[in-house]
Structure 1
Amino acid sequence: MKKILPYIAVLTFLTVLSCRNDDNDFQDQQENGPILSSDAGTLSKRIDFGNAGVLDMKPSSGGKTVTAGNFPLVLVAEVAPPVYNGKTLRATHVTIEGNYAYVSYNTEGETYLGAIEVLNITNPNAPQLVMQAILPDTDVSSVKYDNGKLYIAGAKDIYASGASSPAFVGSMTLNGGMLTNALQQTVLTGKVGTDVTSSSTKYYAVSGATGVLAQLNKSSQQIEMSIPLNDLRALGYNNNKIVVLSGSEGVKIYDANGLNLITSFSTSSDVAEAKRTIDFIDGKLLVSEGYNGVGVYNLTSGAKLQKLSLPTQVPNVNPSDIVSNAVSVNSGRVFVANGGAGLYVYTTDNNQLKLMGSLDLTGSSNFVMSKGEYIFVATGTGGLKIIKTVAPESGAPNCSGYAVYNGSDWLNVNSGQTLEYSGTKSLQGINVNQTLTWCGALTASQSVNLNSNSTFNMYGQFYQGTQSNPWNSLNINSGALLNLKGNLTAYGHMILNSNANWKIEGNVTIFGNLTINQGSKIEFIGTNSSITIHGTVTKNGTSTITGTFTDVNNKL
């Protein structure tokens, strides 16, 4: 096996700094460099919003959820993989810095062909692919952002490059966060560079099969230390320690200052050359162990503290396709890419990791990376999924005066009831027959109905519906009022029936169609409100729209 698996532009040339057999005998090589494209309009055509919308997390007990969830999520978009010279690439890794996500790719099979792409995630409802670097004769396994550079690990076609070994590690100097042809590469012993990380002064890489752990100088690219190890899959930097995972030799932990071995311990044996990842939480090491789930180890002693077992009896999924491929930690939550079973989410409970639930995602979940408010999942033929967590924004209204909601996943407000709640919750749907106030953050995957003469005060972040079923709509019926102070994203249709009222102080995005019927009133409060409508707008009869606002797509 040659490697680990899970647009028109200008051809450039560059000088590559190389090391043969890790011996610091550097020489210059001239070869084809990255093929760069910054045509965001063309690149972003691969972004699909057709399945965007609120996600329902399956509860840990299986079956249908009956209570409101505490971890609302939305699928922002799906990104189809790039195709170059008839070859479809596959996502291998993601690193996130600020408003940019950097995605690496390789090609399955014997062809060496990779890419790095930049996603601008400034607007959470409208990510853009803003730049691409195609790397001919080169697979990219892993990328790591550090101080204006991307550190890269992968494999090269030795017949095209003249390198002594396929495995390489290198760095690309970015320009304002964008990719460049300033790419320096160093040859490593082994078939493929599998992972890369960095500290403040050094960077580190591992290579697979008969590979090495290498420490490199950030400035000169020279290999300062190299330790032969077999079947290396992943590495990480934690508390001035370098932690490496071998599929055959388990975990080894080194002092980052001199690569002196501190400790080592066994993990379960793994399928040869399969891609795996590691991460850290509260002094513990998490290891994706394939058909053995995720192992949780004490970083100091190596004692196995817990096992996150693979799910069993997943409907319509072959058991051989259920495998823990990758693990990622973010804000106390643990995300596990469990192949055909989807994405599993854990949280800490009494010093143990407890399953919160799972998400069914199209394609096999091969890789996961979470940082900030985003979760990126690479799924074989399903492309790259961009998932966003939903939480109150900074500067949100003070919700201390409202009770926390702990009720059903369908929130019903009966006639004569006035209900006031706070918090961050995920619901199936909402029916309001009198008065509802919600302060915080909220999702509803199905319909929201404000029935005649009812009022819904929404203070904070609100996401509703899915694009795949737009008729699970947000309906404001006769005499009803939706009073919004914050942000609303409606993925389906939105309907204002006769004499409906809608007050907006914030930002609205509607992916479906907006229907405004006779006598309806839309009032924008303040001077900073905006509305973005992607579907069509139908106005039946006479309605009024008042106030100062920005109509982003000029639909009103």
Structure 2
Amino acid sequence: MKSNLSIRKSWLLAISAVVFITSCSDETTVFENPEDNLINETDQSKLLNSVSFDEAGVLDIYEDPSASAKRYNTTGKAEPAGDYPLTLVAQIDPPTFTNGENLAATHVALDGDYGYVSYNTVGQDYVGAIDVVDISDPNNPRVTSRVYYTNADLNSIAYDNGYIYVAGGVDSEQSVTATANSLVAKIAVSGGRINTSNISYGFQEGFNATDVRIVNNDVVVTSGQDGFVVIYDKNDLSVKNEAAFSDLRSVAYNGNELAVLDAAEGVSFLDTNLNTVRSIGIQSDFGIDAKRTLDFLGNNIIVSEGTKGAGVYNSASGSFVEYLPILTNPDNAEPGEIVTNGVAVNDDVLLMANGAGGLSLSETKADNTVGVGVIELSGSINYVASKDDYIFAASGKSG
């Protein structure tokens, strides 16, 4: 296991958008005319101007639970961020195009020199997008490629070996190809450029696909209310196995088994045949059609539980360990906006996206998780991803 050094010298890239997910198949298809549903952004100046450096600079971490005061030393000057110096590199505005003015970031996948961002549209419209962000120069991120979807929300994204995989929802009544409302797509990407010439699609039952994860040679997709967890072959997106659940929000993998978050029941641990090996019953504020993620942290699994914060459970026994509370309660925020939407683990550091409660950082020591503080970011933090030296946070207006 790496030391904390990778997170102690981190760059943070904020995506200025809210995160929301709007509310099994035996068929895989390839769109005959993908350009009927896709628009490639060819205006390089628009891509360039998507990145703003106006708020760039060193970020403080508020230790005071009220998050109303910075840390000060005996000279009256603000102290540095200690073991966790974070620098806000830039902010990326969400894409816009004709009939796609309300896009919002939903998920980020990090791999090597690139970050891959998916977007959807809050409400009934099916409109989405994908951004590729070059982060090879930590101080100068660039959006190098962008694709708009005119008939699909994209709620999650993963990268593997030259391809991005996106999961989301499509209006099947408006599509001559879709056999169900939940989709997964396999799209080639190389050198920071998306190739839309030959995209493979799979469709499955469920209100809207909510998460996608690559596990060895498989693509695992969850599809929300009355949906399924489906295992696709990574090569051609043919269906290998499926299992029904009531309200699937997220899937995690620890190298041995899958864990899925069902908002109606809790966490289920699945074997390679998608049989439920054991489960953790959870009754929490998972919300309706809201982003809620889970992740493994050592012997535990961390679950986003809305107003309760993050729940920590022993992944082997299922026993409850503790709740990690939301550290802030801003005066100008509605109670329903202060919720844990997402969690991300980087070695022994845990990040919590707490909506109007901001982005909090905790560290694990032995079997204890200790809250360090809240990172100085404005807006509502609704999703977070972390790998090596980078943190991506999706933020929107709060209050």
Q: TM-score range by the shorter chain?
A: 0.7 to 0.9
- Name the CA distance, whole Å, in 1 between partners of 2:271 and 2:162: 25
| Contact residue 231 and residue 240 of structure 2 kept, 8 A | yes
The Cα of 1:194 is off from its aligned counterpart by 0.3
- Name the CA distance, whole Å, in 2 between partners of 1:90 and 1:337: 15
What aligned pairs does 1:87-486 form with structure 2 within 5 A after superposition? 87-162=101-176, 163-181=178-196, 182-256=198-272, 258-269=273-284, 270-311=286-327, 313-381=329-397
- Name the CA distance, whole Å, in 1 between partners of 2:141 and 2:191: 18
Say how many residue pairs are matched. 364
| Contact residue 155 and residue 193 of structure 1 kept, 8 A | yes
- Name the CA distance, whole Å, in 1 between partners of 2:267 and 2:93: 35
TM-score computed with the length of structure 2 as normaliser = 0.86
SS of the equivalent of 2:190 reads coil
The Cα of 1:151 is off from its aligned counterpart by 1.4
- Name the CA distance, whole Å, in 2 between partners of 1:54 and 1:27: 47
Distance of aligned partners of 1:28 and 1:370 in 2 relative to their CA distance in 1, 3 Å threshold:
closer
Question: Corresponding residue for 2:32?
Answer: 30
Which of 28, 44, 65 is the equivalent residue of 2:71?
Answer: 65
- 1:75 and 2:88 aligned: yes
- Name the CA distance, whole Å, in 2 between partners of 1:71 and 1:28: 46
Query: Which digits, 9 at most, give the CA deviation of each residue in 1:25-75, with x for residues without a partner?
Result: 455653424322354433120211111111111015554413542211111
Q: Which runs of 5+ in 1 are unaligned?
A: 7-20, 383-556
Query: What code does the residue aligned with 1:156 have?
Result: V
Question: Corresponding residue for 2:55?
Answer: 51
| Contact residue 36 and residue 180 of structure 1 kept, 8 A | no
SS of the equivalent of 2:332 reads coil
| Contact residue 311 and residue 322 of structure 1 kept, 8 A | no
Question: Corresponding residue for 1:414?
Answer: none
The Cα of 1:76 is off from its aligned counterpart by 0.6
- Percent identity reads 35
| Contact residue 39 and residue 131 of structure 1 kept, 8 A | no
Q: Which runs of 5+ in 2 are unaligned?
A: 1-19, 74-78
Query: What code does the residue aligned with 1:4 have?
Result: I
The structure with the greater share of residues assigned to strand is 1
- Name the CA distance, whole Å, in 2 between partners of 1:311 and 1:71: 17
- Name the CA distance, whole Å, in 2 between partners of 1:374 and 1:320: 29
Higher relative contact order (CA 8 A, sep 6+): 2
Question: Corresponding residue for 2:12?
Answer: none
- Name the CA distance, whole Å, in 2 between partners of 1:5 and 1:66: 43
The Cα of 1:124 is off from its aligned counterpart by 1.4
Give the aligned CA root-mean-square deviation in angstroms. Answer: 1.9
The Cα of 1:288 is off from its aligned counterpart by 0.5
Question: Corresponding residue for 1:433?
Answer: none
Query: Which digits, 9 at most, give the CA deviation of each residue in 1:166-209, with x for residues without a partner?
Result: 11112112233421113211111011110011112111100011
Instruction: Tell me which structure has the larger Cα radius of gyration.
Output: 1
| Contact residue 158 and residue 212 of structure 2 kept, 8 A | yes
Question: Corresponding residue for 1:453?
Answer: none
Distance of aligned partners of 1:36 and 1:193 in 2 relative to their CA distance in 1, 3 Å threshold:
same
SS of the equivalent of 1:30 reads coil
The Cα of 1:312 is off from its aligned counterpart by 5.2
- Name the CA distance, whole Å, in 1 between partners of 2:240 and 2:329: 49
Query: Which digits, 9 at most, give the CA deviation of each residue in 1:242-261, with x for residues without a partner?
Result: 110010111111113x2232
SS of the equivalent of 1:316 reads coil
The Cα of 1:361 is off from its aligned counterpart by 2.2
SS of the equivalent of 1:347 reads strand
The Cα of 1:159 is off from its aligned counterpart by 2.3
Distance of aligned partners of 1:279 and 1:38 in 2 relative to their CA distance in 1, 3 Å threshold:
farther
Question: Corresponding residue for 2:11?
Answer: none
Distance of aligned partners of 1:238 and 1:317 in 2 relative to their CA distance in 1, 3 Å threshold:
same
- Name the CA distance, whole Å, in 2 between partners of 1:160 and 1:85: 18
The Cα of 1:310 is off from its aligned counterpart by 2.4
